[in-house]
Amino acid sequence: MGVVSDKGTIRKPHHRETFEALQILVLKISPDDVAGAQTEFGLIIDPELEDPTQQGELGEIEAMITPRSRLIGRKYNYFKRMARGVLSLLGLWRQGTKLRRRLAREIFKAGDVLLLSTRDSDERAAEKLELLGLMPLWQRELDVMRDTSKVWQALLIFAIALISVIFFNINIIVAFLLCVLAYAARRLLTGDGMYRHIEWPVVVMLGAMIPIGGALTSSGLTLTSANFITTYLSEVNIAWVLVVILVFTMFISDLINNAATAVIMAPVSVQVANQMGQPIEPFLMAVAVGASCAFLSPIGHQCNTLVMGPGNYRFADYWKLGLPLEILIVCISIPVIMNTWF
């Protein structure tokens, strides 16, 4: 049992505490015993909550709020309106800790884990999870994707697009645009789904970072950075120059988005290559590898943020595992780059 305070927090009642009328209590009770408790103790269910005594077999689902979820920045009332009685919210975990505050006042964040109940069919529950941008973690045999033929169709179309780019030198933008159109033609992707699955924050950020990359070049900062690198590393082996670019790109990628890191570091690596009279391809590859290896912090990549809550990870857990992994990547990627281009 818990008592809800005026601030919305939940506390344990004192041993001799006297309850008052209209006081809000949180009870852990079987749905079959709810009606008896209401009659015996004179309790009523908060109208903001779903009625747990409704008919049907109760099932529980644990689902995580993904970075593209509609619930981010919203409260319980929005969840209730979108769920339309198919899903009910029972609990919320954030970074491995169960919240002891009223769920009706809590603002949802990416990575939160929700404990949901449902009495509807698996198909309806799966549709609501997809609509809300929730990823099931544990469920009652929830069949999220029944038609496996669509999976094979999607994989085949995507494989054709990749093969056309790799072996037939078709422009990658054209190939993947045709891939999306094929998905739409085969009804593998709906019009609403196209807009819902686009990473709009990344698109906007890249649009903002491209002018910044141009400004770095036009202002001379890119040239200054390249001069700094070549001045101190002009006498060393080219492999050590690639190591510096790779490690520095990894470091920046742990602080900002990896796509933005590539936009910033690509002009610098090109300038370094030109000043050293070397081909630009190995330097750009070092940037590409470094920007893809953001393992030292939960903010470097959205996947890092996504697993932080369900895995109960702390900030320090990332660099403890990420640092050896990044060292291993440097030790493998530099010899491969050197062997390919030099």
The pLDDT of 301-324, averaged and rounded, is 80
pLDDT for 244 equals: 93
Give me 83's structure tokens: 């769920």
The pLDDT of 309-313, averaged and rounded, is 70
pLDDT for 52 equals: 46
User: Buried b / exposed e across 135-169, counting CB within 10 Å, b at 16+?
Assistant: bbeebeebeeeeeeeeeebbeebeeebeebbeeee
Residue 175 dihedral angles phi and psi, to the nearest 5°: -65, -45
- The DSSP element (H or E) to which 26 belongs, if any, is strand 25-26
pLDDT for 133 equals: 86
Fold that domain 2-138 belongs to in CATH: Alpha-Beta Plaits (3.30.70)
Separation of alpha carbons 92 and 223, rounded Å: 50
Question: 167: number of CA atoms within 13 Å, CB side?
Answer: 6
- The DSSP element (H or E) to which 60 belongs, if any, is strand 59-65
Separation of alpha carbons 261 and 263, rounded Å: 5
pLDDT for 141 equals: 47
pLDDT confidence tier of residue 190, bands split at 50, 70 and 90? confident
Domain residue ranges in the chain? 2-138, 148-197, 200-341
Is the pLDDT reported for residue 310 higher than 70?
no
